[in-house]
Structure 1
Amino acid sequence: MADLAFPQPETFTLPIVGQTSVFPVGRIFCVGRNYVAHAEEMGSVVDRAAPFYFTKSALNAVRSGNSVPFPQGTRDFHHEVELVVALGASLVNADPDHAMKAVFGYGCGLDMTRRDLQIRERKKQRPWDLGKDLENGSVLGPITPQHTWDGPEGQAIWLDVNGIRRQTGQLDDMVWSVGELLANLSTFYHLEPGDIVMTGTPAGVGPVVPGDTIDAGITGLEQISHHLME
């Protein structure tokens, strides 16, 4: 193997609850408009014919519990709390029941968004990359193995900013279930162990500013915290 011209980043990993091993993150797939109320607050409608996706780079992900700089190039930076699904097996053209067997575990995450840039590009029918795939833009908590969590059905999801509740909902409110999302996504990609899917956010998204602290959680999973430096 040829020598690398310069060092490459190490594989981004997440703690696994109850284990000493860590979860290596591959690709990050995100689901848009998977809660009706959130789609409405963004001036959009849910496409009930099929889920809608975008991607974020694992190189731009950060673990829960960190303090990070406020991002460049935005004056309208928003929080979005989401259920994170971590895959532990390959999936290709799967049905929903089979797709669920590939789930390694679950976590809580934040899809941080430069909303002004997302909306600007959306109006011009351009990709959302500047708004969505930004440094420290995916905040990911520890992964709880699937067999140790009584979910996702019947579990609540919430987010606070500086101790004030901003988002709250139920995972049952998702338009597309975890199994349906994985099955559909597996018709477009050969999904592999290490891939994760961020499953959309409930209503209540809003802006954060330097100095804010975000705390979020899903019933039965590890809570997460994220601080924006002054």
Structure 2
Amino acid sequence: MLAAPPVPIPVSLPIGGSDERFFLRRVYCVGRNYADHAREMGNDPDREPPFFFAKPYDAVFAVAEGVPARGVAPHEVPYPPETANLHFEMELVVAIGLEGADIDAADALGHVWGYGAGVDLTRRDVQDQAKAMKRPWDLSKGFDFSGPCSPLVPAEAIGHPSRGGIWLSVDGESRQLGDLGDQIWAVQDVIAALSRSVTLMPGDLIFTGTPAGVGAIERGNRVAGGVAGVGELTFTIV
């Protein structure tokens, strides 16, 4: 009989300016949280409350560090299998530091530990096919290395950003340029909505949606992105 597998290695993100780590539990993502992006995907942003999907927590990693045990060098992201249409989606990432369920929006920011800048990589062709067949599209979002991220910064150091640029470029060409103030649902509203369905716990991350301009990337492309006052990241698709 095969031996029981070993205890999984904990997954964490670095904390900017510190040797401490933020250990991950669950990763949630908000769909269509910028009106211009909702429209470019063929949806009506005025008729839709926030909805959520998830990524495996070990799909998230700091690109500046890479994941040596899995063969990824710093600042590299492997092009995933089973797709010919890999897309980028630049996002503000919220790190939860306090347990809560059915949280009131007025209290929600008190549950935030800090923030980061992350990219929700998406197998767009896989997603489109799943949507057309009315099937779940988990594998379009939840594949290996699908959540490259910057180091996290504590809210006590930067406050709670509600406005400021969010941007992404590919090979030096601007592809996404928006503002956090353009979010349909602000961070506190996102937390309140999500906490009605699940109990949020320390270590949870929430990717809060992407502005317009999403598009395809190929092997060899150098991607740079960030959120003003929060963080930046750069990586090459290999």
TM-score category of the 2 structures, normalised to the smaller one:
over 0.9
Q: Partner of 1:33 in structure 2?
A: 32
1:16-55 map, 5 Å: 16-46=15-45, 48=47, 50-55=49-54
Q: Does 1:5 align with 2:20?
A: no
Q: Is the 8 A contact 1:37 1:202 kept in 2?
A: yes
Aligned partners of 1:61, 1:18: CA distance in 2, in Å?
20
Instruction: Specify every segment of 5 or more residues in structure 2 that has no aligned partner in the other structure, as ranges.
Output: 65-74
Please give the alpha-carbon distance, in whole angstroms, between the structure 2 residues aligned to 1:8 and 1:135: 19
* Cα distance in 2, alignment partners of residues 207 and 10 from structure 1: 32
User: What is the distance in 1 between the residues matched to 2:62 and 2:103?
Assistant: 30
SS of the equivalent of 1:166 reads strand
Of the candidates 121, 138, 148, which is equivalent to residue 147 of structure 2? 138
2:187 and 2:211 map into 1 onto residues whose CA distance is: 15
Q: Which amino acid aligns with 1:207?
A: A
2:77 corresponds, among 68, 71, 90, to: 68
Equivalent residue letter for 1:217: G
Extract unaligned runs of 5+ from structure 1: none
Runs of 4+ deviating beyond 4 Å: none
Tell me the C-alpha RMSD between the 2 structures. Answer: 1.5
Measured against aligned partners, the alpha-carbon deviations of 1:128-170 in whole angstroms (never above 9, x if no partner) come to 1121111110111111110211442221100011111100000
> 1:224 aligns to what?
233
Partner of residue 115, structure 1: 124
Distance in 1 of aligned mates of 2:46 and 2:199: 23
Cα distance in structure 2, aligned partners of 1:85 and 1:194: 10
- Normalized against structure 2, the TM-score is what? 0.91
Q: CA separation in 1, counterparts of 2:48 and 2:39?
A: 17
Between the aligned partners of 2:47 and 2:187, the Cα distance in structure 1 is: 15
Aligned counterparts of 1:224 and 1:164: Cα–Cα separation in 2: 15
In the TM superposition, residue 64 of structure 1 has moved relative to its aligned partner by 2.0
* Displacement after TM superposition at 1:48 (Å): 4.4
Kept after mapping to 2: 8 A contact 1:33/1:45: no
Match of 1:223, SS?
Answer: strand
Aligned residues: 227
Could you tell me how far 1:63 is from its partner in structure 2? 1.5
TM-score by length of 1: 0.94
Counterpart-to-counterpart distance in 1, 2:146 and 2:90: 12
SS of residue matched to 1:167: strand
CA distance in 2, matches of 1:120, 1:68: 24
Tell me the amino acid that sits aligned with residue 147 of structure 1: E
| 1:7 CA displacement | 2.5
Q: What is the Cα deviation at residue 49 of structure 1?
A: 5.2
- TM-superposed deviation, 1:47: 5.8
Moved more, 113-122 or 63-72: 63-72
